[in-house]
Structure 1
Amino acid sequence: MTVDLVQHSIAVIARGQTPTGAYLASPNFAQYRYAWLRDGAFIAYGMDRAGQHRSSRAFHRWVDRTLRGVACKVEALEQKADRGEPIEMTEWLHCRYTPEGQEGDAGWGVFQLDGYGTWLWALCEHVRMTGARDLLEEVRPSVELVRRYLTRFWDRPNFDCWEEHGEHVHPATLACIYGGLRAVDALEGSQGAAEVCEAIRSYLLTHFVHGGRLTKFADGRSIDANLLWVSVPFGLLSPSDPLMEATVAELERRCVTGGVHRYPEDTYYGGGEWLILSAWLGWYYVRAGNRARALELLAWVERQADERGDMPEQVTDRANVPEMVQPWVNRWGPVAKPLLWSHAMYLILRAELGLLEQQFSGPEPGW
């Protein structure tokens, strides 16, 4: 029997959404039984693209409740910054939470700004697609809290989307912040974040452009597939900008072996090919007008689903460092599967290609 990957992806995400509205990154993988704002925002967007608006709305309400519970931390951070005092890593808003909205502690870096910008963007996309202005007003305190937080601290070094390199500022994170702040302004018809967005853009173009392309660090050499975010979906650069075209060409040369690797030096589970990034590159090519390449990447993603239709985080057949696959399996078990974000990116790419009929959700689930 052939699995309907669209229906199965929707079902996987629905099963991974807890009664509180939080999306668990991968319910079957112990280390990922948390709800990340970043992952969850893209998962909610994928569900919106598939017509599952109640699921997305439940996630945004969960974020709002969670942020209300930690709002006092932002005022304390602002006061310490005003006094010029150092801020400890644990004092920042966390990047991952339990389904009940408690700060998650998995022994990894907790200070990440990308999820907060991504949440603003995904919330605005939900409102734009559904006309749910009532939701925007309902979560307004959290929107204003996040805007304050990002406007004040956008240039602080923090961990990237892979939860690495907390000593750096990261282009992908800057793009998330830029995209989130601009999305709120666009939805409200205001220019409230125009100044800080221009500062973010200037910072990125000053520090992370070398040899006519973007770099992961300000070293003129490094590359990371998350640089795609600078263009799609956050729009700091257009897909046809020469900087983006050169960056994608370098990604194709150094990070693509069928699917897309995170970066050439990656050794996590050997540094395999990630489904979210392969779909992301397809997303970029749709926006750049190269439908044929996007369809190739869609087909690659579909081939990675198992006989049930479950999609993993990555596949390791062509890992950067094959001898590092088994040590990670010994440490944490097999690669996370299903990964909700992989299924969401599959839905997004199909939607971008015009190959996704909206599967409208059923009765209100009671969130």
Structure 2
Amino acid sequence: MAWICSTWQIERRYRPQTLVTDVRAVNPRLRLQLEINDAMAPDANVLVRRVVVHNLAANEREVRLFWHLDLDIVEQPFATTALYHPDTRTILIYKGHVWFLLGGYSEGEPLGLAQFTTGFRGSYRDAEDGWLNGQAVATGNVDAVGGINCQVPGRGSHTIYYWLLVAPGMEEAIAAHRQVAFRRPERLLDDAAVTMQGWLTAHAVDYQRLPAKLARLYEVSLLVIRSAIGHEGAIIASPDSTIERPSRDTYQYAWPRDGALVAHALDVAGHTEESHRFFRFCAEALSGSVPWLWQKYNPDGSRGSTWHAMFNPQLRAPQMQTQEDETALVIWALAEHAHYCPDGCVERLYTNWARNVADWLATYRRRDGLPRPSFNLWEESYGIWTFTTAAVVAGLNGAAAMAHAYGPEEEESRFRQAAQAIQEATASKLYDEKARRFITGLRIDEQGEHPVSDVDASLFGLWALGGFAPNDPRIVGTMQAIERELWVPTPIGGVARYPNDRYYQRDPALPGNPWIITTLWLAEWYLALGQLPRALELLNWVADRALPSGILPEQVDPHTGEPVSVSPLTWSHSAYALTIHQYLRVGRAAQQA
């Protein structure tokens, strides 16, 4: 008996051009090898798993496989019921209107589980002697185990299938189970692969200038992005739940900031239908009580958890619970979306809600032209931030472009003037002549405003969002400072966010952990300058940080390169996909020249 964990030698990959898993697990002690393929059915809420059991011994053996289910339905482990359904030989686990069903069979055998048990959490222990005691029902804080037996010839193999589905009731779950059996799980796996390949190749990319590993990572990145988009358009930051225990929360929310940047990458890649759904999601999520978007949302559009306070203890006063860059980036991305989608696709979105949001961006300013205080890009500090000013300028210029296309004319002028005023204030108040670079922003406390002089990787937004030219001496000085001061001085390398970044900090002597997105921002700048070799070095750095499956994390350990925080991070994959397109575009231009 051996649960699939550290005692197995495991290789995790995806089948080419799909997110169908291709896992190899070998246990030398048991003399077994498992080939595992998982995928979500393309048109149903069903996770299908195929396991090919290879017997590495010479003699025929009986092999028993168990699947342990420990589900926190609606994010809570309590008041849950697990029960065995004898007619279908399946296990049902439910709470309210959420019903999970575990089914399966051994190839050549009748449909259904060969063994089962339910119980209070810890029933997986029952499997460790190879037999399940068959407890038919449990309620409360429960789990369950289903088992399938198979005879595997010496030096031979045998295939089994499991599936886990979710439905709003028992009858619907049983009906869906019978549909899986009727359609055959192997066909569902094939359908999933074909659907993904068709979506991916609908907008072909010429990979001739790309090393093979970069091309493969681009394909995985687009598929990871696609998998993060809900039916209603929410773009989830990460499906990873491994951080839930230490933090008591996850990244399974839709941040407007992340979503805007992901949607833009989708547009550039040609997948405008998915990005359009995101903008509709934002329109629906916008609260009637405030003209801005909140920090993050649940996939259903309700407001997500937040650490943005409504009261500032340092100022001893209320503060606006807004992160203005999140709202501004959505307006900017919507204006960019208009260049990629069919004529008129943005007009209704603009007239129904984006113009009102842009009006707030234009008026939420101080007398000196800078935006009023809000939380920064990293969601940590309250003040006036240079990246935020760049995002607001981009959002207002985007709104002006949409007003020019859809009217009225006076709105275009007003948005342009507001953007110009903020741009001028940014250049005069957030640029350090002595250091010859922009500062991170202005921190506000009871004693007034204080320049935040430490360099921050987010300053790339000054040029990336169109406010300044990438070769402007002020930008050159800023980007050089980012590379000089934030490049992690270890063999791993990469760009940290800012000095003394304590989020998942691994080494206090370093500026911080290297992040995927910040390193790609540096690559984007080199591409904007036409410096392809350095950009390619940075793209290869990112590819080397990916897991064998092609999954990109948020950040990596500065000494080992191992993933830190969540994996995958949708934002990391979108930044990579966007940078690849820029690399190919710059490469084509250089070749033509």
TM-score range, shorter chain: 0.7 to 0.9
Secondary structure of residue in 2 paired with 1:169:
strand
- 2:296 touches 2:306 (CA, 8 Å); kept in 1? no
Tell me what 1:354 maps to.
584
CA distance in 1, matches of 2:528, 2:467: 14
- Give me the whole-angstrom Cα distance separating, in 2, the residues matched to 1:132 and 1:99: 29
Residue 540 (structure 2) pairs with residue 305 (structure 1): no
Compared with structure 1, are the counterparts of its residues 71 and 145 closer, same or farther at alpha carbon in structure 2 (3 Å cutoff)?
farther
Encode CA deviations 1:105-134: one digit per residue, 9 max, x unaligned: 233455200011111111111111223423
1:151 to 362, 366, 388: 362
Q: Aligned partner of 1:307: which letter?
A: P
Compared CA separation, residues 259 and 317, structure 1 to 2 (3 A): same
2:524 aligned partner, one-letter code: W
The SS at the match of 2:413 is coil
2:461 to 211, 222, 229: 229
Work out whether residues 17 and 24 of structure 1, in 8 Å CA contact, stay in contact via their aligned partners in 2: yes
Out of 184-193 and 252-261, give the one that drifted further. Answer: 184-193
1:284 equivalent in alignment to 2:525:
yes
Shift of 1:260: 1.0
Give the secondary structure class of the aligned counterpart of 1:130. coil
Q: Is the 1:31–1:106 contact (alpha carbons within 8 Å) kept by the matching residues of 2?
A: no
Q: CA deviation at 1:186?
A: 2.6
- Counterpart Cα distance in 2 of 1:104 and 1:60: 18
Q: Distance in 1 between matches of 2:227 and 2:275?
A: 13
Q: Which residue of 1 aligns with 2:589?
A: none
Q: Indicate the larger mover: 1-10 or 41-50.
A: 1-10
Superposition pairs of residues 100-139 of structure 1, within 5 angstroms: 100-108=300-308, 110-139=321-350
How many positions carry a matched residue from both structures? 324
Cα distance change of structure 1 residues 194 and 318 upon mapping to structure 2, 3 Å threshold: farther
Q: Which residues of 2 match residues 1-367 of structure 1 at below 5 A?
A: 4-29=216-241, 30-67=249-286, 70-74=287-291, 93-108=293-308, 110-154=321-365, 155-166=371-382, 168-189=383-404, 190-210=412-432, 211=434, 212-218=436-442, 219=451, 221-232=453-464, 234-257=465-488, 258-270=493-505, 271-318=512-559, 335-354=565-584
The change in CA–CA distance for 1:37 and 1:151 in structure 2 (over 3 A counts) is same
Q: Which one-letter code corresponds to 2:266 in the other structure?
A: M
Name the TM-score, length of structure 1 as normaliser: 0.83
176-185 or 149-158: bigger deviation: 149-158
Aligned counterparts of 1:318 and 1:144: Cα–Cα separation in 2:
47
Query: What is the root-mean-square deviation in Å for CA atoms of aligned residues?
Result: 2.3
Which structure carries more helix by proportion? Answer: 1
Match for residue 360 of structure 1?
A: none
Specify the alignment match of 1:364 in structure 2: none
Q: What secondary structure does 2:284 align onto?
A: helix
8 Å CA contact 1:97–1:103 kept in 2: the answer is: yes
CA contact under 8 A between 1:126 and 1:132: conserved in structure 2?
no
- Note the alpha carbon deviations across 1:260-280, whole angstroms, 9 max, x for none: 100012111113111111111
Unaligned runs of 5+ in 2: 1-12, 17-212, 242-248, 310-320, 366-370, 405-411, 443-450, 506-511, 587-593
Deviations 1:202-249 (A, max 9, x none): 2212221112210113437311000000101x1211101110000111
3-state secondary structure, aligned to 1:129 = coil
| Alpha-carbon distance between aligned partners in 1 of 2:566 and 2:303, rounded to the nearest angstrom | 22
Task: State the one-letter code of the partner of 1:217.
Answer: G
Q: In structure 1, how many angstroms separate the alpha carbons of the residues matched to 2:402 and 2:530? A: 26
Higher relative contact order (CA 8 A, sep 6+): 1
Q: Is the 8 A contact 1:71 1:145 kept in 2?
A: no
Q: Is the 8 A contact 2:228 2:236 kept in 1?
A: yes
Assess, with a 3 A threshold, how the Cα gap between structure 1 residues 244 and 355 changes in structure 2: closer, same or farther: closer
Kept in 1: contact 2:253–2:299 (CA 8 A): yes
Aligned to 1:86: none
Aligned-partner Cα distance in 1 for 2:253–2:427: 34
Residues 39-48 or 101-110, more deviating: 101-110
Q: Distance in 2 between matches of 1:291 and 1:350?
A: 11
User: What SS does the aligned partner of 2:250 have?
Assistant: helix
What is the CA–CA distance in structure 2 between the aligned matches of 1:289 and 1:249, rounded to whole Å? 16
- Distance, in Å, in 2 between the alignment partners of 1:231 and 1:335 is 28
Name the larger-Rg structure. 2
CA distance change for structure 1 residues 193 and 135 in 2, over 3 Å: closer, same or farther?
Answer: closer
Q: 1 CA distance for matches of 2:547 and 2:439?
A: 34
TM-score with structure 2 length normalisation? 0.52
* Contact kept in structure 2, 1:273 and 1:318, CA below 8 Å: no
More displaced, 1-10 or 199-208? 1-10
Q: CA deviation at 1:317?
A: 2.1
Counterparts of 1:131 and 1:285 in 2: how far apart (Å)?
32
The letter for the 2-side match of 1:340 is T
Q: One-letter code of the match for 1:32?
A: Y
Distance 1:248 1:143, change over 3 A: same
Contact preservation (8 Å) 1:261, 1:274: yes
AA aligned opposite 1:95: Q
Seen in structure 2, the aligned counterparts of structure 1 residues 338 and 196 have a Cα distance that, compared at 3 Å, is same
User: What amino acid is the match of 1:73?
Assistant: V
Q: Distance in 2 between matches of 1:312 and 1:136?
A: 36
2:48 corresponds to which residue?
A: none
d(CA) in 1 for partners of 2:486, 2:559: 11
Matched residues in 2 for 1:181 and 1:139: separation? 12
Higher strand share: 2
User: CA offsets, 1:6-64, max 9 Å, x none?
Assistant: 22111111111112110110111442111111100001111112211111111111111
Tell me if structure 2 keeps the 8 A contact 1:259–1:278: yes
Report how far residue 146 of structure 1 moved.
Answer: 1.0
Once residues 421 and 347 of structure 2 are traced to their aligned partners in structure 1, the CA distance between those partners, rounded to angstroms, is 26
Q: Tell whether the 8 Å contact from 1:269 to 1:316 is kept in structure 2 after alignment.
A: no
CA distance in structure 1 between the partners assigned to 2:232 and 2:402 by the alignment: 27
Following superposition, the deviation at residue 348 of structure 1 comes to 0.3
Q: Within 2, Cα distance between the matches of 1:117 and 1:21? A: 18
